[in-house]
Amino acid sequence: MSISNRLSNIAKEIPQNVTLVAVSKTKPIKAIQEAYAAGQRIFGENRVQEMVEKHENLPKDIQWHLIGHLQKNKVKYIAPFVSLIHGVDSFATLKEIDKQAKKNNRTIPCLLQIKIAEEATKFGLSFENAEQIINAQETKALSNVEIIGLMGMATFTDNQTQLKKEFESLKSFFDKTEYKTLSMGMSGDYQLAIQEGSTMVRIGTAIFGTRN
Ligand SMILES: *Cc1c(COP(=O)(O)O)cnc(C)c1O
Contacts 24+ apart (CB under 8 A), 167-172: 167/116, 167/192, 167/193, 167/196, 167/197, 167/198, 168/196, 169/116, 169/127, 170/114, 170/116, 171/196, 171/197
CA 178 to chain centre: 18
Task: Give the pLDDT of residue 77.
Answer: 98
State the pTM of this model: 0.97
How far, in Å, from the CA of 95 to the mean position of ligand 1? 26
pLDDT at residue 68 above 90?
Answer: no
| SS3 state of residue 152 | strand
Q: Is 186 in the pocket of ligand 1 (CB under 6 A)?
A: yes
Contact 149, 134 (CB under 8 A): no
- Radius of gyration in angstroms for the set of CA atoms belonging to the chain, rounded to a whole number: 17
Ligand 1 atom with minimal separation from the 203 CA: 9
- In a 10 Å sphere around its CB, with 0-12 CB exposed, 13-18 middle and 19+ buried, how is residue 77 labelled? middle
Q: Report pLDDT digits (tens) over 76-132.
A: 999 999 999 999 999 999 999 999 999 999 999 999 999 999 887 668 999 999 999
68 lines ligand 1 (CB under 6 A): yes
Does residue 94's CB lie within 6 angstroms of at least one atom of ligand 1?
Answer: no
How far does the centroid of ligand 1 lie from the alpha carbon of residue 23, in Å?
Answer: 6
For residue 146, what are the contacts with CB-CB under 8 A and spacing of at least 6?
107, 108, 109, 110
Interval between CA 143 and ligand 1 midpoint (Å): 30
Name the closest-CA residue to atom 4, ligand 1.
Answer: 204
Q: Is 152 in the pocket of ligand 1 (CB under 6 A)?
A: no
Q: Is 205 in the pocket of ligand 1 (CB under 6 A)?
A: yes
Question: What is the atom index within ligand 1 of the atom nearest the CA of 205?
Answer: 8
Residue 212 pLDDT exceeds 90: no
Task: Find the length of the chain.
Answer: 212
Count of Cβ atoms closer than 10 Å to residue 114 Cβ: 24
Nearest to residue 41, comparing CAs of 63, 16, 11, 66?
A: 63
> Is-contact 180 192, C-beta < 8 A?
no
CA neighbor of 188 nearest in space, from 170, 212, 162, 150? 162
In tens, the pLDDT along 172-205 reads 999 999 999 999 999 999 999 999 999 999 999 9
